[in-house]
Structure 1
Amino acid sequence: MHQIKEQLQQSAIQLFSKDFSELSKNEMYIALALMIQNMAASSVAQTTKKIDTQDAKQLYYFSMEFLMGRLLINNLQNMQLLKAVDDVLQPYGISIKDIEFEEEDAGLGNGGLGRLAACFMDSIASLNYPGHGVTLRYRHGFFKQIFVDNKQVELPDLWLNNRNVWENKISEDAAIVSYYGKLIKAEDGKYTLTDTVDVLAMPYDMPIVGASLTTNTLRMYDVLPLENQKNFDVYEKEIMDIVSCLYPDDSTPKGKELRLKQQYLFVSAGLQNILKKHLAKHGTLDNLADYVVMQINDTHPTLLIPELMCTLVDTHGYSLEDAYALTSKCIAYTNHTILAEALETWDAKMMKKLLPRIYQMIEDINDMFLDSLKAYNYPKSQIKKMAIIGNKKVRMANLAIVGSFSVNGVAALHTKILIEKEMKIWADHYPQKFNNKTNGITHRRWFQYANPELYQLVKKYSDDALSSQPISWFKEFEKQVDNQDVLTQLQEIKAKNKHQLNLYIQEHEGISIHESSILDIQIKRLHAYKRQLLNVFHIIYLYHRLLDDVTFRENFYPQTFIFGAKAAPSYVLAKNTIHLIRTIADIINADTRISNKLQVIMVTNYNVSYAEKLIPAADISEQISTAGFEASGTGNMKFMMNGAITLGTMDGANVEIYDLVGYENIEIFGLQKDDVFAIHASDYKVEDDIKADKELQNILNFIKNLKDFQPIIDYFEKENDYYLVAKDFKAYIKAQEHVQHLYKDQTNWTKKALINIARSGFFSSDRTIEEYVHDIWKLKKLEN
């Protein structure tokens, strides 16, 4: 403790020429975080030395997103320094909680894809495996969300303005990445590019501190200009756009090209660094697959496949066949969706212009693959579907499957749909490649850190010897299901978490929540298939019924509906849905006739830090996507681990939650995936369901009268309600009524919550990572 105090004083003097006691909160944060960063950097060096000494195989996890959240307390917790630092701060009249929010959420991700990657990084390090993330250093995050007249407005997320103390610039690993150019074929058959537009990809490393002695790294690539480039002013602006923001608008050809530039930048630079280090150690690439495995998280990093093959062929003299054989032993692919819109395709002409050699290699891979299909006598229609290039498009999912040795889904149902329906022709052709790896979350952040009192309660009744086995450690708690003292403590913890959320919402939204009400929370990306519309339709239904039905109003248990979501800037329906939620909230919250019964809040700029407050306070976890469309979800796991009851469809990981807790401890409603597929294959007309349901008619008329929600009306009248809000509406009302009934028996409700907590250990990302390691990555733990 004395040593920590001395180091803090030194940091304060070196950074600000002041005593630590004289620092502002922000300066205290910077001084403390830099001290921890120095410790983490030392741990990175020790881990690197272990990897080198043990000649260990390493994982490189390529992902467009890593939604890390704030790192100060997370790193202190994993280093087991949290209490010691808090004790040092107490004499200064401040606690760690007082300064943690001086840190900006890192703007490196948006939704579940990025949060999953962050959880995986935590688990890999905590389990003592050598594994690193590779991504872009976005200068602006997705965007900061504000509301003007209840409409979403996007502001730049300037997360780097307050200094990212966790990063170190690694200049010696900078790499040149080339775009455009002319292909020149030499006499020996090798290709080179001339007249390229070159950029310098500059890496910054952030430590990934495990709850162990292992500290891995997240490598983020920034862009810098190079000398001797034509039209320098135009060139500099265009290359800086590459890292300007996460997911630039791709509704224009220029936007699409920018996204492709982003994907190629971190793939090319990351691979150059991997191969440089491997060659320095081993002197040959023949054994690359023995020491390197690269996981591509969704299709965004798929250019890794042709990039590695180009390097092997053009730089190292491999034949096309040998290059493919080696590449396909090194790369594995995680599929995150069955939505056609998320299975990326790129205009072939654009790719050929931007990345001429890469496109040529994709043509060669396609030719090789199609030639290999001749032996199977597949129908021409199937071969057309399997082609990597077709209809003047490059199909990235097809390329990812052909060029990898493993293709995994992220939940049991998702993988089943991939194998039996969406990717059946591929699974039949490559049965050995397809496997399931159900997603997970890091319980260290989403339980121990986000809900410390609940963690201490579970810890009290669990065996410390099982702490490295989350499934068994959580399961021990179930023995307390009939312990009234424990149930009472659970209720008290939930009440405290609701109070803390109320304070947070008061500060950020200027409104108080009803702490004694049922907190019903839906926080996730705004998308039609996630069906925030179904939720808001039910709220409108409740509002009118509470006004019109005195008996119903008297028996109704107060319920607060909380939403958190961002809509993609160009996604009109999603933005209109946010506008509707906020408009309905204003109407309901201002109506004194029912304001003590019903409340609606949509929080501003939902992010990881907001989730850490919302999830521990929730009573109901809304997971209501159209069955068959959510790959997995991880929010459902976080809510479950913190004692919320899932209200959801049999979709994604909800299916596995159901299997774990049983029908009596989850509220399932609505269509099954086979029902949904059958409806989509029929001549279904949503207008028939609307005509048969007076409540739906009233809701739609109410929305029409608000006069600003034509995209939502068009969704029903012109798009035929593809995600079946109307079809599941009655079942959803019935499920909500059942939840209301169950909640009134607080003892039994708390028992259900306890069972959810106790059986949530399966969803620890530690379990997921061990499955990846055993089945795909074949890593070995680093020895201490």
Structure 2
Amino acid sequence: MDKKVFMEKFTGRLPKDIKSATPQQLHNALGETVMELYSDRWSVAREEHLSKRRAAYLSMEFLVGRAVFNNLLCLGIYDEVNDAFKELGLDLADLEVIEDAALGNGGLGRLAACFLDSAATLGLPLDGYGIRYKYGLFKQSIVDGFQREDIDDWTKYGDPWSRRCDEDTLLIEYSGQTVKAVPYDMPIFGCRTENVGTLRLWQAEPVKEFDFDTFNKQDYLEASKEKIYAEDISRVLYPNDDTNEGKKLRLKQQYFFSCASLTDILRKHKARFGTLDNLADYISVQLNDTHPVISIPELIRQLVDNEGWTFEKALSTAKKVFNYTNHTVMQEALEKWWTGLVEEVLPRIYEIIIQINEELIAEMYANGVQKDKTNRIKIIKGELIHMADMACYASSHINGVAEIHTQILRDSVLADWYSLYPERFRNETNGITQRRWLALCNKELSSLITEKIGDGWLTDLSQLRELSKYADDSSVLDSFIKVKQTKKQQLADYIKAREGVETDPNSVFDIQIKRLHEYKRQLLNAFSILWIYYGIKDGSITNFKPTTFIFGAKSAPGYKRAKAIIKYINEIGRIVSTDPDTRDLIKVVFVQNYNVSYAEKLVAAADVSEQISTAGTEASGTGNMKLMLNGAVTLGTYDGANIEIVQEAGEENNYIFGARVEDLARIVPEYDSRRVFAEDKMIKRVVSSLIDGTVSDGGSGDFRELYMSLLDGASWHAPDHYYLLGDIRSYVETKLRCISDYDSDRAAFARKQWLNMCNAGKFSSDRTIADYAENIWNIK
């Protein structure tokens, strides 16, 4: 970067009194300057992508977070820009107040963002397609222990890292409604490469903004009705769908970005090649979970209705173009749409789904497949359209995201499909980008690593293994401990500023950060803290090392039980902090508005990484990888990528507890949570806190409902469906051993942490994407 040119363009965009510029003005000026300086590189890369076989990643979520620092890092100009700010009397760190692009809910969306980062760095022609939500998920606050949601207006002060492309605007048609899909493009800068990927996000806008005649008749709301209904489609991520209207909006969202993305892909292909006959030779489309699976009938619709293809030819092409990533083993998360709803909103798509289903059935009969198996895998069962079955039928490849997850898909969830098409199934263990999740968020540790092995790890994380030779070097471990202490102090300062809560950086930092869901078992963690509290009070737990338990999580707005767990965690925090016997030993902090930027600080400071999902429920996890990479030990079950983490770093360097998948297969048929509750006094005491007045849910009855779901079952749940009571004693014992190990021999514990970091190389998304490129997408 020519620093003189940068300074001229940057300062030219600022107020005359530069020091009076707000962080938002500085951010916009910086973003616009960088975008201008690197626009030619982006244009060349776009053209390069379109000239060869490429891949498109369709995802409902792209949790990109805050772009500015990551872009500077990947472009290799972070230090130059930092120096330029200093010369102007400014502080680059002031831009930390800039809002995240919170266009995702958790691991699914963060994975998609990491994948684009890795593909750009590896020089691969991969581009992303999604929705440009006006408000993203939501901004969370904690009021009296309860989650409160507010809009997350992330573009309030502008969005300098996106470019609106009106020339590519499309029309999307539903029954009784037509809306515009306006694309906004975001560059994904590769690290140490000229390659730049593109994330195209679609924004819904009305065809007719305002009806003046209606307004003139003083029917003011009706005059703006089309604008409101159109913009609702891209207003928020995952609108509450516990009513038919909510379900209809979600379906519209999924079709909106799928239709727009495919139309864009087909337009560009036809403009370059003059035909769509070779489409499958040049494009591979990855369906990230079931949300974009509506793309399958949509591609067929466009090829049949717009290009005059036969249905058979269009279906054959779809099977070559699409690939499907499954992210869950839980049936309730495998999307199923009511046939009446799809027919109402998308009648032509429903007709095509019927045709696909009929073709599947005919194919099964032709191949001699038994009728009962055909009935299990057909797409339309009764009045429900099973999107995962459609994805399996019309995809070239089907992949899980961790070894155990993929095996469960083969053995049970998608066993029928695996028996028919074993060659389609692959495992692609998830990964994270080390650029954001180490180089950017932990400069102190990055400097220590680079001092020892150079900086090649930025693009080849497997090089971290070379650091294993320092595991018994006391001076290196001392340096590592100092780095960890620095990050804990920084987090403590940040929590004090953000939450108004004092935390002790000399305590153990035990951290659980992830989406709030019952299977992730934040409630089990809360129970364990109350268990330890009772143990300290009655003297059965002595010499307890002061520990800060930090939670970060958002619950879906309509997920009542998950919101009750947030309240319960905060109630436990109130108890331990107000008791003079424990307030200096136990601290519970539930951080507000957990997002990517908060996560960057949390993962760097963690001593213990809580990965405690019920065995067989977490597809992979990526938070576990981020925490491992920053030198945390895993306290977890044998689930998801935890298994591979232990394989890489050694079980002796981590803390594994609880029933495994094979154990649960044996235990669950005879499991009686009431018996466990009745026969274990401490379990009974801890769980009874939900109803005995120990904690208060403000009279909502939510805690009582949690209690009953554990002991008697609730909705579709069996009693203690996620095996909290069965695992809790093993969990508490392992947690106490972990904390005791930290306290008794800090150097030995640091060695475990160091070896986790050294062996995190497998979990780079660079490795994951290189495998997708070679074995699924066939791109170079």
TM-score (normalised: structure 1): 0.94
Pick one of 639, 643, 651 that aligns with 1:651.
639
Identity in percent: 40
**Residue of structure 2 equivalent to 1:186:** none
- Residues 28, 159 of structure 2: 8 Å contact kept: no
Paired residue secondary structure (2:232): helix
**Residue of structure 2 equivalent to 1:150:** 145
**Residue of structure 2 equivalent to 1:768:** 768
**Residue of structure 2 equivalent to 1:76:** 72
Pick one of 117, 136, 139 that aligns with 1:141.
136
1:221-260 correspondence runs (5 A) = 221-227=202-208, 233-260=224-251
The aligned amino acid for 1:633 is G
Pick one of 378, 383, 401 that aligns with 2:374.
383
How far apart, in 2, do the equivalents of 1:199 and 1:245 lie?
16
Is 1:552 matched up with 2:541?
Answer: yes
How far apart, in 2, do the equivalents of 1:401 and 1:568 lie?
28
**Residue of structure 2 equivalent to 1:93:** 89
Relative to 1, partners in 2 of residues 1:485 and 1:445: Cα closer, same or farther, differing over 3 Å?
Answer: same
Give the C-alpha shift of residue 198 in structure 1.
Answer: 1.1
Is 1:125 matched up with 2:120?
Answer: yes
**Residue of structure 2 equivalent to 1:778:** 778
The aligned amino acid for 1:514 is D
1:251-270 correspondence runs (5 A) = 251-270=242-261
How far apart, in 1, do the equivalents of 2:36 and 2:290 lie?
35
**Residue of structure 2 equivalent to 1:718:** 712
**Residue of structure 2 equivalent to 1:103:** 98
- Residues 19, 90 of structure 2: 8 Å contact kept: no
Relative to 1, partners in 2 of residues 1:700 and 1:609: Cα closer, same or farther, differing over 3 Å?
Answer: same
How far apart, in 1, do the equivalents of 2:229 and 2:14 lie?
37
1:146-195 C-alpha deviation (Å, 9 max, x unpaired): 12211111111111112111111101111111001xxxxxxxxxxxxxxx
Is 1:691 matched up with 2:683?
Answer: no
Give the C-alpha shift of residue 271 in structure 1.
Answer: 0.8
- Residues 209, 226 of structure 2: 8 Å contact kept: no
How far apart, in 2, do the equivalents of 1:338 and 1:40 lie?
42
How far apart, in 1, do the equivalents of 2:736 and 2:595 lie?
30
**Residue of structure 2 equivalent to 1:217:** 198
Is 1:163 matched up with 2:158?
Answer: yes
- Residues 40, 207 of structure 1: 8 Å contact kept: no
Give the C-alpha shift of residue 517 in structure 1.
Answer: 0.8
Paired residue secondary structure (2:103): coil
Q: Which moved more, 1:19-28 or 1:36-45?
A: 19-28
How far apart, in 1, do the equivalents of 2:489 and 2:391 lie?
47
**Residue of structure 1 equivalent to 2:58:** 62
How far apart, in 2, do the equivalents of 1:94 and 1:587 lie?
44
The aligned amino acid for 2:741 is L
Relative to 1, partners in 2 of residues 1:615 and 1:685: Cα closer, same or farther, differing over 3 Å?
Answer: same
**Residue of structure 1 equivalent to 2:319:** 328
How far apart, in 2, do the equivalents of 1:203 and 1:687 lie?
55
Paired residue secondary structure (1:703): coil
Give the C-alpha shift of residue 747 in structure 1.
Answer: 1.4
Paired residue secondary structure (2:152): coil
How far apart, in 2, do the equivalents of 1:620 and 1:393 lie?
43
**How many residue pairs are counted as aligned between the two chains?**
756
How far apart, in 1, do the equivalents of 2:324 and 2:283 lie?
15
- Residues 480, 486 of structure 1: 8 Å contact kept: yes
- Residues 103, 132 of structure 2: 8 Å contact kept: yes
- Residues 463, 476 of structure 1: 8 Å contact kept: no
- Residues 104, 162 of structure 1: 8 Å contact kept: no
Paired residue secondary structure (1:749): helix
Paired residue secondary structure (1:302): helix
**Residue of structure 2 equivalent to 1:754:** 754
1:507-534 C-alpha deviation (Å, 9 max, x unpaired): 1100111111111000011111001111
- Residues 509, 604 of structure 1: 8 Å contact kept: yes
- Residues 433, 766 of structure 2: 8 Å contact kept: yes
Paired residue secondary structure (1:133): strand
Give the C-alpha shift of residue 483 in structure 1.
Answer: 1.2
Is 1:640 matched up with 2:628?
Answer: yes
The aligned amino acid for 1:532 is Q
- Residues 14, 26 of structure 2: 8 Å contact kept: no
Pick one of 171, 187, 200 that aligns with 2:180.
200
TM-score (normalised: structure 2): 0.95
1:298-337 correspondence runs (5 A) = 298-337=289-328
1:610-630 C-alpha deviation (Å, 9 max, x unpaired): 100011100000000000000
1:402-441 correspondence runs (5 A) = 402-441=393-432
Give the C-alpha shift of residue 56 in structure 1.
Answer: 1.3
**Residue of structure 2 equivalent to 1:281:** 272
1:567-606 correspondence runs (5 A) = 567-606=555-594
The aligned amino acid for 2:680 is D
Pick one of 17, 28, 31 that aligns with 1:30.
28
Is 1:4 matched up with 2:3?
Answer: yes
Give the C-alpha shift of residue 315 in structure 1.
Answer: 1.3
Is 1:514 matched up with 2:504?
Answer: yes
Relative to 1, partners in 2 of residues 1:637 and 1:100: Cα closer, same or farther, differing over 3 Å?
Answer: same
Give the C-alpha shift of residue 299 in structure 1.
Answer: 0.3
The aligned amino acid for 2:594 is Y
Paired residue secondary structure (1:493): helix
How far apart, in 1, do the equivalents of 2:208 and 2:674 lie?
62
**Residue of structure 1 equivalent to 2:687:** 700
Relative to 1, partners in 2 of residues 1:730 and 1:772: Cα closer, same or farther, differing over 3 Å?
Answer: same
Is 1:295 matched up with 2:286?
Answer: yes
How far apart, in 1, do the equivalents of 2:401 and 2:136 lie?
25
Q: Which moved more, 1:589-598 or 1:519-528?
A: 589-598
**Residue of structure 1 equivalent to 2:215:** none
Give the C-alpha shift of residue 684 in structure 1.
Answer: 2.2
Relative to 1, partners in 2 of residues 1:612 and 1:465: Cα closer, same or farther, differing over 3 Å?
Answer: closer
- Residues 434, 458 of structure 2: 8 Å contact kept: no
The aligned amino acid for 2:738 is V
Q: CA RMSD in A?
A: 1.6
Is 1:489 matched up with 2:470?
Answer: no
1:613-692 correspondence runs (5 A) = 613-680=601-668, 682-692=669-679
How far apart, in 2, do the equivalents of 1:389 and 1:695 lie?
48
The aligned amino acid for 2:674 is E
How far apart, in 2, do the equivalents of 1:274 and 1:229 lie?
31
The aligned amino acid for 2:704 is Q
How far apart, in 2, do the equivalents of 1:468 and 1:16 lie?
35
- Residues 336, 409 of structure 1: 8 Å contact kept: yes
Paired residue secondary structure (1:570): coil
The aligned amino acid for 2:676 is D
Relative to 1, partners in 2 of residues 1:337 and 1:280: Cα closer, same or farther, differing over 3 Å?
Answer: same
Give the C-alpha shift of residue 327 in structure 1.
Answer: 1.0
Paired residue secondary structure (2:101): coil
1:347-406 C-alpha deviation (Å, 9 max, x unpaired): 101101110111101100100010000134434332221110112011100011111111
The aligned amino acid for 2:28 is I
Give the C-alpha shift of residue 89 in structure 1.
Answer: 1.2
How far apart, in 2, do the equivalents of 1:43 and 1:201 lie?
26
Give the C-alpha shift of residue 42 in structure 1.
Answer: 2.7
How far apart, in 1, do the equivalents of 2:365 and 2:676 lie?
48
Paired residue secondary structure (1:338): coil
Relative to 1, partners in 2 of residues 1:17 and 1:613: Cα closer, same or farther, differing over 3 Å?
Answer: closer
Q: Which moved more, 1:108-117 or 1:715-724?
A: 715-724
Pick one of 517, 527, 546 that aligns with 2:517.
527
- Residues 302, 399 of structure 1: 8 Å contact kept: yes
1:417-447 C-alpha deviation (Å, 9 max, x unpaired): 0001111111011111111000000001101
